Amino acid sequence: MANASSGRHLSIDELMSASSPTCPVCGSNEDDIIESVKAGCAHCYITFEHILNPHIERMHQLRLPEPPSEFSDLLRDYPSFGDIAVSSRIRLARNLAETPFPGAMTEQQQSSVFEQIGDFLGGIAEGEAFRVIDTVELKVENPFEAASLLERHLISKELFHKSEKCGAAISPDEKVSVMINEEDHLRIQALGEGLALKSCLETVDRLETMLSGHFDFANDEEHGWLTRCPTNLGTGLRASVMLHLPAHTDSGSIHGLTARLAKSGYTIRGFYGEGTKPVGRLYQISNQQTMGLSVRQIVENLNALVLRIITREREIQRALDNNHPGYIDDHVWRAFGLLTNARSISGEEAMQLLSAVRVGVSIGELSVPISTIDNLIHKIQPNTLCFDSGRDLSDVEMNSVRAQVLRRTIKGDIAN
Ligand SMILES: [Zn+2]
């Protein structure tokens, strides 16, 4: 083809770049977008709308059913439902406008974003300042502490495995953490005990307002808050509740529940998120849809759904108890006996036994505080045990230390 102004012929490379747009901000090209189905920056949603929009439509076509009337408008915290709802979490994804997203940033941009956000959160005046952790450095200095942050859900698996400049700012009470340079520049998350979506929402909302007074976050009218992955567009919100569902699990009802949730736009996962098998009969239920509904509606819908599941769990539990009198009591007391006497317990067995003891507490058979059981779930994970012991433990030592932690914590400080 002749170039009209100069009369010379264009090279193959020039022809390719003339027909294939490149993002002027982050330099991503069509192949990058098609391959990853992720935006390199806010501007990519304009440059590559012909590629991204069909994906966005497909990803966000799910529409959640209306919550049943008896549970609608019931967004408050439910401390008394802690026997089934273990913990709640809300996270918001945000990105700085004008800066390429993680995955498309230069090293200098990664450091600059980390420092800007870290400096701000490390210095905020509400209570004590956040502790800012560079996870890449921490993995070298104290690998057990880094992995323990993952086991306590303060950072994600994705952040833990990243080798570019990234980290987290964590509040002194460890109820709030902001991951920096994970998939998005900021992942603001609040954690709460039991069914506490309302207070988690208020916490992230407050922090996001504070941050947005200082940083300009990427958004546009059509897509709302702009995120690296189009699945998070709109609100950038993921709300989750960790539920302990022994009756659903033992009766097999969990399979029907899983299928129903998938159809109505929710995900159900095991204890450690995506792709993990449920351990200790614990399940994490989250919203999938982030667009087309307000933050409040998404959280209200999840809250209503969880209330319905909790009601159903209690019904199945009663039915199991009626059909097999004494079975649950026996199961609970056997587990309690093992946890308070065993000298060596593997992680998997411990999770099963704690699940049984949790049932004992919820039916009023055992007087161990439910928070003790839930703290133990985190305390007995391998890296947390090594971190708390101050050294690397062999498998044999690990099982022995785990058994000791369980015995001492559940029985109180009785000499063992
Ligand atoms: Zn771009």
Q: Indicate the pLDDT class of residue 413, thresholds 50, 70 and 90.
A: very low
The per-residue pLDDT for range 262-304, each reduced to its tens digit, is 888 898 987 665 555 667 889 999 998 888 888 998 999 999 9
CATH of the domain at 167: 3.30.590.10
- Would the pLDDT of 3 be above 60? no
State in Å: Cα 273 to ligand 1 middle: 29
- Would the pLDDT of 67 be above 90? no
Among 298, 317, 336, which residue terminates a domain? Answer: 317
Answer whether residue 64 is part of any domain.
no
Residues 336 and 290 placed together within one structural domain of the fold = no
Answer whether residue 4 is part of any domain.
no
Residues 176 and 220 placed together within one structural domain of the fold = yes
SS3 210: helix
Answer whether residue 7 is part of any domain.
no
Answer whether residue 2 is part of any domain.
no
State in Å: Cα 52 to ligand 1 middle: 12
Residues 118 and 213 placed together within one structural domain of the fold = yes
Answer whether residue 165 is part of any domain.
yes
State in Å: Cα 121 to ligand 1 middle: 27
* Ion ligand 1 residues within 5 Å by Cβ: 23, 25-26, 28, 40-41, 43-44
Among 297, 317, 337, which residue terminates a domain? Answer: 317
Q: How many domains does the chain have?
A: 3
Higher confidence at residue 1 or residue 333? Answer: 333
State in Å: Cα 122 to ligand 1 middle: 29
The per-residue pLDDT for range 218-251, each reduced to its tens digit, is 999 999 999 999 999 999 999 999 999 999 998 9
Residue ranges making up the domain that contains 107: 69-317
Q: Indicate the pLDDT class of residue 70, thresholds 50, 70 and 90.
A: low
358-365, long-range: CB within 8 Å, 24+ apart, which pairs?
Answer: 358/83, 358/244, 358/246, 359/246, 359/317, 359/328, 359/331, 359/332, 360/332, 360/333, 360/335, 360/336, 361/83, 362/83, 362/84, 363/317, 363/328, 363/332, 365/329, 365/332, 365/333
Residues 165 and 46 placed together within one structural domain of the fold = no
Among 290, 317, 344, which residue terminates a domain? Answer: 317
Calculate mean pLDDT across residues 72-79: 77
Residues 197 and 313 placed together within one structural domain of the fold = yes
The per-residue pLDDT for range 138-177, each reduced to its tens digit, is 999 998 899 889 888 899 989 999 999 999 999 988 999 9
Answer whether residue 177 is part of any domain.
yes
